[in-house]
């Protein structure tokens, strides 16, 4: 047979268009049948005709089960994770009409592993010189953002890995409310899917503590002597910068923690300095003079 000869789908028996053939290990499949496969399935080329037929039978049964799926919680944005607590099942889907999309129903008990993966994205900043040239800062300066992903390992005959992005926005610092919101949502979802079994981990840029790989939010190529994540189950602060950040000394000599002096009543002066969220260095300008992070 020539390369442009008409082919027949070995699944449904229909003719396959010129660019519609989906090659199987021992046959051919049309794109319409391919659309019915699980969105998490990626072994089509290594699957036989019989294996594909078995999966399509499974997918039809899945559609029937969807009619009794009653989600009561949802996580994420695109995709969304719909949770049916009563049945102990969930779906992960990009579709608004999830019944029509026929997403795979997965049992909590079939979740073998769940990891929260926080990825740091770094973009170097440049400046334009007086003669119009683009040059790097010295030391280099960067903009940061963070993306939240969930990685699932599941017990299913047709796929075993599901990875998706939980966040639709990217916080610029681990010290923002948005970052903490996504972090809380990610771990709440993990706890739901694993039943609090504590499996998997917390994978984020560099650093680790305990069973987690925690975000090394201070690392940016600069020294780490002031503040570090240590492998001791938590944060370790090696000087008093953070502790003293909440205290101030009045002109009368009294050290205070509130907005007014406890001794003379003078108001706390405004502090224009700021602490870099990347390396914890105190600064007064628009860029950190230690790592280049924008204020």
Cα atoms in the 13 Å half-sphere on the side-chain side of 113: 11
The pLDDT of residue 286 is 73
CA nearest to 235, candidates 224, 245, 222, 221: 224
In sign, the C-alpha dihedral spanning 80, 38, 162, 143 is negative
Cβ-proximal residues to 159 (8 Å cutoff; 6+ apart), any chain: 38, 40, 41, 42, 104
Q: What is the pLDDT of residues 39-49, one digit of tens each?
A: 998 887 888 89
Q: What is the pLDDT of residues 116-169, one digit of tens each?
A: 999 999 999 999 988 888 999 989 999 999 999 999 999 999 999 999 999 889
Long-range contacts of range 4-10, CB-CB < 8 Å, 24 or more positions apart? 9/33, 10/49
| pLDDT reading at 63 higher than 50 | yes
| pLDDT reading at 274 higher than 50 | yes
Spatial distance between the Cα atoms of 224 and 279, rounded to a whole number of angstroms: 7
Spatial distance between the Cα atoms of 67 and 52, rounded to a whole number of angstroms: 23
The pLDDT of residue 68 is 93
C-alpha distance from residue 125 to each of 151, 167, 187 (Å): 31, 24, 32
Q: Is 249 helix (H, G, I), strand (E, B) or coil?
A: strand
Spatial distance between the Cα atoms of 201 and 277, rounded to a whole number of angstroms: 24
The pLDDT of residue 270 is 66
Report the Cα–Cα distance between both ends of the chain, in Å, rounded: 66
Q: What is the pLDDT of residues 68-107, one digit of tens each?
A: 999 999 999 889 999 999 999 999 999 988 889 999 999 9
CB contact at 8 A, 146 and 170: yes
The pTM assigned to this predicted structure is: 0.63
CA nearest to 167, candidates 240, 100, 75, 62: 75
**Comparing 289 with 168, which gets the higher pLDDT?**
168
């Amino acid at each position: 047979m020539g390369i442009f000869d008409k082919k027949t789908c070995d699944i449904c028996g229909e003719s396959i268009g010129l660019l519609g053939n989906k090659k199987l290990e021992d046959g051919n499949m049309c794109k319409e049948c391919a659309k019915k496969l699980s969105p998490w399935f990626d072994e089509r080329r290594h699957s036989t005709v019989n294996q594909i037929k078995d999966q399509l039978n499974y997918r039809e049964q899945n559609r029937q089960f969807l009619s009794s799926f009653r989600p009561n919680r949802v996580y994420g944005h695109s995709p969304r994770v719909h949770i049916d607590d009563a049945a102990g099942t969930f779906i992960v889907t990009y579709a608004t009409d999830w019944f029509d999309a026929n997403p795979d129903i997965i049992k909590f008990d079939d979740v073998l592993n769940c990891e929260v993966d926080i990825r740091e994205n770094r973009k170097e900043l440049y400046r334009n010189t007086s003669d119009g040239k683009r040059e790097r800062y010295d030391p280099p300066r960067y903009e940061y953002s963070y993306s939240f992903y969930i990685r699932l390992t599941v017990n299913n005959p047709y796929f075993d890995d599901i990875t998706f992005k939980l966040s639709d926005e990217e916080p610029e610092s681990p010290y923002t409310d948005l970052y903490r919101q996504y972090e809380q949502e990610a771990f709440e979802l993990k706890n739901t899917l694993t039943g609090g079994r504590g499996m998997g981990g917390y994978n984020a840029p560099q650093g680790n503590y305990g069973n987690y790989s925690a975000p090394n939010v201070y690392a940016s190529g600069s020294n780490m002597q002031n503040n570090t994540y240590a492998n001791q189950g938590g944060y370790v602060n090696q000087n008093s910068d953070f502790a003293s950040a909440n205290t101030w000394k009045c002109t009368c000599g009294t050290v205070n923690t509130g907005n007014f002096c406890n001794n003379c009543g003078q108001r706390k002066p405004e502090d224009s300095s700021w602490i870099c969220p990347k390396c914890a260095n105190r600064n007064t300008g628009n860029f950190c003079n230690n790592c280049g992070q924008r204020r």
